[in-house]
Copies of this chain bind each other. A is one copy, B any other.
Amino acid sequence: MTINIGVIGTGAIGREHIRRCSQVLQNSRVVALNDINRSNCEQVINELGLDAQIYDNAHDLINDTAVQAILVTSWGPTHEEFVLACIKAGKPVFCEKPLAVTAQGCLNIVEAEINAGKKLVQVGFMRPYDSGYRALKEVITRGDIGEPLMLHCAHRNPSVGDAYTTDMAITDTLIHELDVLRWLLNDDYVSAQVIFPRKTRNASSHLRDPQIVLLETTRGTRIDVEIFVNCDYGYDIQCEVVGELGIARLPEPVSVQTRSAAKLSTAILTDWKKRFIDAYDVELQDFIDNVASGEMTGPSAWDGYAAAVAADACVAAQNSGEILPVKMPPKPAFYA
Contacts and interface: CB of A to CB of B under 8 A. Distances in A.
A214 interface: yes
Given A197-B149, A221-B198, A226-B152, A258 B267 contact: no
Nearest to A260: B246
Interface residues of A, number: 67
A251 B248 contact: no
Contact of A202 (B139, B236, B244, B270): B244
Contact of A263 (B148, B219, B266): B266
Interface stretch (A37-45, A68-76, A129-137): A129-137
A261 interface: yes
A233 B210 contact: no
A197 B241 CA distance: 13
Given A210-B149, A224-B212, A262 B256 contact: no
A222 B212 contact: yes
A296 B231 CA distance: 39
Q: Which of A147, A195, A197, A224 has the most CB of B within 10 A?
A: A197
Interface in A185-243: 195, 197-202, 210, 212, 214, 219-222, 224, 226, 228, 231-234, 236, 242
8 contacts: A144-B260, A150-B226, A212-B222, A251-B254, A251-B255, A251-B256, A262-B267, A263-B268
Given A24-B26, A152-B226, A246-B260, 17 more contacts: A138-B256, A145-B258, A145-B260, A147-B198, A147-B201, A149-B198, A149-B199, A150-B212, A199-B220, A228-B242, A236-B259, A245-B260, A246-B261, A247-B260, A259-B268, A262-B268, A263-B267
